[in-house]
Amino acid sequence: MPVVELGPERCDALLAFFGALPEGDLTFIKEEVTDPETVRGWATESSPGGRWVALDTGGDEVTGYVAVRPLPGWSDHVGELRLVVSPARRGSGLGRELARRAVVEGVSAGLTKLVVEVVAEQGAALALFTDLGFGGEALLRDHIRDRGGELRDLMVLAHHVSDTWAQMDTVGIGEELDASAT
């Protein structure tokens, strides 16, 4: 399953991917991912970080999306990861592959800290990021209101690059960084 950088030629497939997500998934995505202007804007932006999509074996359908978005101003050394995987592909390792790609790309871009926000009940997502060297930094109680009006807790996990280099080597990310540098 190829993972490629998001370009204009993938916008329609990405919009179809987001449009097919269950309503509950859309609750937990910060950006208006069903808006064509928003998604098309991503493909032409020239800001640091990046956005990638996983494609099915035919290369036509998007099955996952990941982004690293550097924060502005005094936090420009921090990148926020955003990850979405098709419900049909969850549990297949695709999320881990995309998250690893984001970590590698974020570190290669010079970011020294990566953060991800995860709804507290999303145990699989918490485990995935913990395995990649992220640790809890904050628990924001009743921080999200889902589309049904229910309040949910939000966890902020962080990956401090210099503090976790040994962990990165353990999960094989160090070798990927070395390979991307050559």
Residue-wise DSSP of 114-181: EEEEEETT-HHHHHHHHHTT-EEEEEEEEEEE-TTS-EEEEEEEEEETTTTHHHHHHTTHHHHHHHHH
User: For helices 94-108 and 173-181, what crossing angle results, to 10°?
Assistant: 50
Q: Which domains does the chain have, with CATH numbers?
A: 3-181 (3.40.630.30)
Between residues 179 and 98, the one the model is more confident about: 98
Does the pLDDT value for residue 50 go beyond 60?
Answer: yes
pLDDT tens figures, 51-94: 999 998 887 899 999 999 999 999 999 999 999 999 999 989 99
pLDDT tens figures, 100-128: 999 999 988 889 999 999 988 888 899 99
Does the pLDDT value for residue 30 go beyond 90?
Answer: no
User: For helices 36-44 and 11-19, what crossing angle results, to 10°?
Assistant: 140
Share of the chain above pLDDT 70, in %: 88
pLDDT at 158: 95
Q: 151: pLDDT confidence band, cut at 50, 70 and 90?
A: very high
